[in-house]
Amino acid sequence: MRRLLDVLRRLRRAKGPPRLRKMPAISAGRHGIILMLALTTSAIAGDLLPAGLATTRTDLNAKDQVRVTAITRPTTDFSKPEPFELMQGGAGTSRKDISRDSFSQSSANISFEEEGTFKLGNALFRKNWVSSPSSTQASDGLGPLFNERACQNCHLKDGRGRPPQADVGTTSMFLRLARDASSAEEKAALADYRLLNLPDPVYGTQLQQLAVPGLRGEGRMRVDYRERKVELPDGTAVLLRKPAYTIDDLGYGPLDPHTTLSPRLTPPMIGLGLIEQIAPADILARADPDDRDGDGISGKPNIVRDGLSGELTLGRFGWKAQTASIRQQAADAFAGDIGISTPEAPKHWGDCTAAQEKCLAMPNGVQARLGPVEAPAPVMDLVTFYSRNLAVPARRDLASPEVLAGKKVFYEIGCVACHTPKFVTRRDAPDKPQAFQLIWPYSDFLLHDMGPDLADGQAVGDATGNEWRTPPLWGIGLTEMVNGNSFYLHDGRARTLVEAILWHGGEAQKARDRFAATSATERDALVKFLGSL
């Protein structure tokens, strides 16, 4: 295991002042499920962790820590909503009427001036880039190979994407390409976190389906489904569809035989700024890579290098927690999805590889008067601000008896072992709207083995081919309203929330089986609860 996992083991064994450690908090209901609450673990010298990863919350005084511990403790009372549960995105929660624009609202606690900055960022998020050379100058640089012309075209209405359907393609689900290390130099780069994985030698890190005039796209993703029937103990039958992925019309020869294909649906954009300000110590406190408490739930962080400082830090964004910051996530998307260079990722030809000589011979969109990249720092500032301040919608029907009953089932069958209900963000967050907010993302932001059925076989940093980051659940009940579809999981294979739960395996197998064993009334209530998020 790598450096951080060794550190986490030492954290568990160390002597000293109590901090955060898993211990039983609730014995819940007739299922007899023991829910685990991170309360105390042992202190350890800070120099054993990568720079930037504290083992204690240095932003809180003793009084604040007591308050935070109390307010984030899992509830045992399902007769009524919890205090502040309505405002699941803290003070920035959007209270506007539910509509197709529910994921596109600004944080409610930003200033009037900041609202103007948000709108400028929104304009850039929606901006269509064009190929070079062009008369627009400040808008050229597209590609040469790309998946879309604008951020908004992938993050539909700032929500989730969809898989291809029938003869209709998609640009909101991509195929990530990666292979294992094949040389000592590559293995050393992975071990030192200088790389997360290795690209295909011809096609790079991602399949680019589109290209500028005069160039051919790399190929077309094809998805074939095989349905299988799952019968629940009460006789209810559910059809699950298992996808298989291939690439048609490869434009530049065959893939490397060791290259894996990993489908990635674009995730919702809401609440990213709040996630960025969860204290690393609160996430690391729930990690248990060796399952020392024997509950069947491990959970481990993905450690990555910060794109600017080069320091090791905690990954928290992306399906495999492979990105540490919103700004880096935006830069990676500009380069990989649109083919636009930024100060953080100065790749003027996007994901073009040395084997794609014609691609590298195409003109780029760098304008000397604007700087050395196609999207200079002011563009990144605005897009990052916009992404950081997309508000989480308020809860709905949270006092409904059926929703409360569903919440109880969610806790009793063990979903909260990974889908941690709430956190309090850092008091010293650099932007006041995200500081010291009680939030309800329903995620621990750790990696979990989800079993062979959901495995993609593609390692990303410390994430293995079986592991995925627990996705936040806030806003999941508005998926159909915002995006006009109801596709779930990393590849959109699940068409309903029930299907999504039944696909859970690995560390989530016990919770999945308990869900399957509940009555139809309880299952309906659980879905109603998820729909209220």
Average pLDDT over residues 47-73: 83
> What is the Cα 244 distance to its own chain's centre?
22
* In contact, 303 and 50? CB cutoff 8 Å: yes
Average pLDDT over residues 235-241: 97
Q: Say whether pLDDT at 289 is over 60.
A: yes
* In contact, 243 and 175? CB cutoff 8 Å: no
Lowest-confidence segment of 50-64, 172-186, 338-352, 388-402 by average pLDDT:
50-64
pLDDT band with cut points at 50, 70 and 90 for residue 34:
very low
Tell me the domain boundaries of the chain: 130-271+319-375
Which phi and psi (to 5°) does residue 96 adopt?
-70, 160
Q: Say whether pLDDT at 92 is over 70.
A: yes
What pLDDT does 309 receive? 86
What pLDDT does 167 receive? 62
Task: List, as one string, the DSSP characters of 74-132.
Answer: PP---SSPPTTTT-TTGGG-B-SPPSTTTTSPBPTTS-HHHHHHHHHHHHHHHPPPBPS
> What is the Cα 317 distance to its own chain's centre?
4
d(CA 465, CA 527) in angstroms, rounded, equals 29
Q: Say whether pLDDT at 522 is over 60.
A: yes
- pLDDT tens, residue by residue, 295-346: 999 999 999 999 888 899 999 999 999 999 999 999 999 999 999 999 999 9
What pLDDT does 56 receive? 85
What pLDDT does 24 receive? 31
Average pLDDT over residues 61-85: 96
Place of tokens 């951020």: 151
pLDDT band with cut points at 50, 70 and 90 for residue 170:
low
Q: Say whether pLDDT at 26 is over 50.
A: no
Question: Higher model confidence: residue 469 or residue 43?
Answer: 469
Helix axes 326-333, 377-388, angle to 10 degrees: 120
- pLDDT tens, residue by residue, 181-221: 999 999 999 999 999 999 999 999 999 999 999 999 999 99
What pLDDT does 301 receive? 97
d(CA 71, CA 74) in angstroms, rounded, equals 8
Q: Say whether pLDDT at 39 is over 50.
A: no
What pLDDT does 311 receive? 92
Q: Which of 445, 487, 493, 488 is nearest to 468 (CA)?
A: 445
pLDDT band with cut points at 50, 70 and 90 for residue 257:
very high
What pLDDT does 49 receive? 56
Q: Say whether pLDDT at 286 is over 90.
A: yes
- pLDDT tens, residue by residue, 269-283: 999 999 999 999 999
What pLDDT does 7 receive? 46
pLDDT band with cut points at 50, 70 and 90 for residue 12:
very low
What pLDDT does 431 receive? 96
What residues have CB less than 8 Å from 13, skipping those under 6 apart?
42
Q: Say whether pLDDT at 17 is over 50.
A: no
Question: Higher model confidence: residue 51 or residue 430?
Answer: 430
Q: Say whether pLDDT at 375 is over 60.
A: yes
Average pLDDT over residues 169-187: 89
Q: Say whether pLDDT at 91 is over 90.
A: yes
d(CA 268, CA 257) in angstroms, rounded, equals 33
What pLDDT does 393 receive? 98
Q: Say whether pLDDT at 78 is over 50.
A: yes
* In contact, 110 and 324? CB cutoff 8 Å: no
- pLDDT tens, residue by residue, 386-438: 999 999 999 999 999 999 999 999 999 999 999 999 999 999 999 999 999 99
The pTM is what?
A: 0.91
pLDDT band with cut points at 50, 70 and 90 for residue 50:
low
* Share of residues in the chain with pLDDT > 70 (%): 89
Helices (DSSP H) in 129-215: which residue ranges?
151-154, 184-191
What pLDDT does 307 receive? 83
Q: Say whether pLDDT at 43 is over 50.
A: no
